[in-house]
Each structure stands twice: as C-alpha cells, then as structure tokens.
Amino acid sequence: MAMVSTLFFAWGFLTCLNDILIPHLKNIFDLNYAEVMLVQFAFFSSYFLFSMPSGKIVEWIGYKRAMVTGLLTMSAGALLFVPAAGLPSFPLFLTALIVLAAGMTILQTSANPYVAILGPPRTASSRLNLTQAFNSLGTTLAPRFGSWLILGAAVAPLSMEAVRAMSAAQQQSYRIQQAASVKAPYIGLAIALFVLALIVGWFKLPVIEYAEAHGHATGSIWQHRRLVLGAVAIFVYVGAEVAIGSLMTNYFNQKEIGNLPIPKAAGYLQYYWGGAMLGRFVGSALLQRLRTQNLLAFNAVAAALLVTISMLTFGHVAMWSLILVGLFNSIMFPSIFTLAIEGLGPLTGKGSGLLVAAIVGGAIVPELQGVLADHIGIHHAFVLPVLCYLYIIFYALKGAAPEGGPRRAT
C-alpha cells in the first residue's frame, strides 16, 4: 500500500501541474479560454484513447510490470516538454501532454484495481479513498512548486496588447524567454519518474495475476445499469473537478473576484486540492461507519451549493466558496468507482476499464466551460460544474442502487 500510494502521489502532482501550465501557455501563445483548454482536452482524452489498450497491457504483463511501463512512458512525456518549450510550439506541448497522460492511464488502470484487491472487498472503498488521499497530496503540493518553478521563474509577463504590438521576431523571442521556465521542472520530473520506475521494478510487490483476481469475464458490462450510470458519474465528476481547477487561477485574477496577479492567484490552488486531500483522509474513516451513497449525496449537494454561491457573489466570498468545493470533491471519485464495480465479479476488470475511460470527462467538460467563459464570461461559466454535481446527486440516491432492489450498506 505504501509503495502504490507513492504512484498515486506522482500522478496527482503531474495532473495538477496542468492548472499552472494553463495561465502560462495562455499568455505565451495569446490563446482564448477555449483554445487554452485544449491542454486538458489533450491530457484527459488520452484516458479514453488508452484505457482499453492499458487494460490489455495489464492482462499481458501483470500489474507490477504495467506500473513500471506507465512510469517510463510518463518520463518520456515529461522530456518532450523540453523541445516544446525550446521551439516554442503549442501543438508540441499538447503532444507531450498526450504521451504523459498515456503513461498515467496505464498506471491508473493497473493501480486502482490493484489497491481494491489488496485487501477485503468490504473495505475497498475506504482503502481506495486512503490511496487517493496521497493523490491529493500531490495535487496540493503541485501548485506551490509549479507556481514557484514555472510562473515564478518566468520574466514578468507583458500585457497581451504589448505583445501584439511587437514584430513577429520580437514575439518569437518573448515566447522563447517565457517558455524556458518550463524546461527545468519537467527535466527534473522525467528523472524522478525514471528513478521511481526502477524502484518499483526492484520492489517486491505481492504478485496477483490478472486472471486470478478477476477470473474469465463473461457477459456484457453494458447490461449493468449501476456501472453504466457510474461511468457517466465519473465523467461529470472529473470534468467538474478539472474545470474548476483549470479556470481558478484566471478566475481569481479577475478584478471583481480576487484582483490577484497570476502567480499569486495560482498559489490558491493548493487550498482547493488540499481540501480534497483532507476530505479523503477524513472520508476514509467516515466510510467505515457511513453508507457510501449517503456520504456521496451529501458531498455533491454541498459542492453544487458552493459553486452556486461563488457564481452569485464577488470578492472573497466568491473565492473561498469555490476553494471549499475541493473538500467536498474529496470522496467522490473513489466512492463512485467502488459503487459502480461492486458485485461485477469476473467483469470487474472490464468495468474498471470503462470507468477509467470515463475520465475523458476531464477533456470535454473544461473545454465546454472554456467556450462558455468566452461567450458569457468566466464568472457565470461555472454553471456547468453545478449541472455535473446535480447528476452525481441523482447517481448517489437512485443510480447506484442495484437492479434487484435497495442497496445494502457499503
């Protein structure tokens, strides 16, 4: 559990660095919200594209080798940031993100079910919440380090009006200068991921063969209503969480909200992700006593109310109500995941693959919110996450019930 929790930390850290890259790349390449949200679109689309192939990789080479393969792929993706910043090229940045996320997909497809089967089924939800808390530790630390190493290391950005007034040669020189701050952090991350791959390869993890854990799957996963509705819940949850985190820095930069410079606004992301970390540690304990669906419904109601308050207010109230959403996001992913795969038996492996594919919501929802922000303003574009949380309330109260009757306590 300790070794696997390290992997959860690594992909949480790298995922959250995207929230730092978004305002930085927006300035470098003079992008609107819809264009810069291609960062999350490229990253999270990889979950959809590579989830099924990743499942096959786990079947072929086992959990441990799949984790090593995922880490090495992530290391290669991190190295691609160097030529992307050297040119600089926004399409090459997106390519690097796709490779990085492909490795992360292999890691998630192997690590999530591995944690679930490392102990008794009745405590799977609590166990996954605990490891996801270390994922949130990574997302909590990433904004501080990213803001310092990427935004802080860059020369103070000029206004877009000043950049547009430059000649083509001056603009290129400015972009190279600004993008250079990305190189060192991602070189360091590439080395760290490579070393972690060597450590996992050397570490003696319990050997659990894929076939032994899941049996030989029969039937169709599409016949299981709770799983299919759970996949939609994962889609909207990841979408809402990523959309809020992605636009938070620019949101707090708005005069009527926080009026903060971009580097300082980015620093507040640590409180959003820190809330998720705290909530997962607390949630892991609460789920020993409470029904998973009841806690999930309560958290989704709280998240929807907080985002609504932020949309209807200004200043510090709008800021902190949005930051607090992280606390209630905390238990949603692992709770939905365990509710959706409960009782699947030999179809657990395929069900897990479907749920990992549904993480593509992190690509679609932020992109749609970016379009909304361009058309109705960033303040009111947060109506989209509210709709996502309303669906999660439905899933917790109705969609997660087994087909045969009311669900038992989980």
Q: Is residue 77 part of a domain?
A: yes
Single out the residue of 284, 282, 276 nearest to residue 238, CA to CA: 276
Q: Given its phi and psi angles, is residue 345 left (phi above 0), alpha (psi -120 to 50 degrees) or beta?
A: left
Of 204 and 121, which is predicted with more confidence?
A: 204
pLDDT in tens, 59-117: 788 889 999 999 999 999 999 999 999 999 999 999 999 999 999 999 988 887 788 77
Cα angle value 234/34/20 (rounded, 5°): 75
Write down the pLDDT at residue 153. Answer: 76
The residue-averaged pLDDT of 254-274 equals: 93
Tell me the HSE value of 331 on the side-chain side, using a 13 A CA sphere. 30
Write down the pLDDT at residue 209. Answer: 58
For residue 157, the 8-state DSSP code is P
**Which amino acid, one-letter code, is at 176?**
I
Single out the residue of 208, 216, 207, 205 nearest to residue 349, CA to CA: 216
For residue 273, the 8-state DSSP code is H
Residue 281, token pair as written in the block = 């540690």
Residue 239, token pair as written in the block = 């979408």
SS3 394: helix
Of 197 and 57, which is predicted with more confidence?
A: 197
Q: Place 352 in a pLDDT band, splitting at 50, 70 and 90.
A: confident
**pTM (two decimals):** 0.85
Our count of domains for the chain comes to 1
pLDDT in tens, 27-68: 999 999 999 999 999 999 999 999 888 888 887 888 899 999
Phi, psi of 289 (to 5 degrees): -115, -30
pLDDT in tens, 223-261: 999 999 999 999 999 999 999 999 999 999 999 999 999
State how far the Cα of 249 lies from the Cα of 234, in Å rounded to an integer: 24
Q: Decide if 207 contacts 62 (C-beta within 8 A).
A: yes
Q: Decide if 57 contacts 69 (C-beta within 8 A).
A: yes
Q: Is residue 212 part of a domain?
A: no
Q: Place 410 in a pLDDT band, splitting at 50, 70 and 90.
A: very low
State how far the Cα of 73 lies from the Cα of 140, in Å rounded to an integer: 24
Write down the pLDDT at residue 403. Answer: 62
Q: Is residue 265 part of a domain?
A: yes
State how far the Cα of 143 lies from the Cα of 147, in Å rounded to an integer: 6
Write down the pLDDT at residue 303. Answer: 98
Write down the pLDDT at residue 211. Answer: 54
State how far the Cα of 3 lies from the Cα of 131, in Å rounded to an integer: 10
Tell me the HSE value of 58 on the side-chain side, using a 13 A CA sphere. 32
State how far the Cα of 141 lies from the Cα of 133, in Å rounded to an integer: 12
Provide the angle, in degrees to the nearest 10, between the axes of the packed helices 292-312 and 315-323: 160
CATH of the domain at 394: 1.20.1250.20
Say yes or no to pLDDT of 409 above 50. Answer: no
Q: Given its phi and psi angles, is residue 209 left (phi above 0), alpha (psi -120 to 50 degrees) or beta?
A: beta
State how far the Cα of 139 lies from the Cα of 297, in Å rounded to an integer: 24
Q: Is residue 47 part of a domain?
A: yes
pLDDT in tens, 291-349: 889 999 999 999 999 999 999 999 999 999 999 999 999 999 989 988 998 887 777 76
Single out the residue of 377, 356, 305, 304 nearest to residue 102, CA to CA: 356
Q: Is residue 62 part of a domain?
A: yes
Q: Is residue 304 part of a domain?
A: yes
Q: Place 199 in a pLDDT band, splitting at 50, 70 and 90.
A: very high
Q: Is residue 347 part of a domain?
A: yes
Residue 332, token pair as written in the block = 């949603």
Write down the pLDDT at residue 218. Answer: 60
User: In angstroms, what CA-CA distances link 228 with 185, 218, 378?
Assistant: 39, 17, 32
Q: Is residue 264 part of a domain?
A: yes
Q: Place 408 in a pLDDT band, splitting at 50, 70 and 90.
A: very low
- CA dihedral for 188, 43, 351, 300, sign (positive or negative): positive
Give the N- to C-terminal CA distance of the chain in Å, as an integer.
21
Write down the pLDDT at residue 116. Answer: 72
Say yes or no to pLDDT of 405 above 90. Answer: no
Provide the residue range defining the domain that includes 286: 2-203+221-399
Residue 208, token pair as written in the block = 């659990």
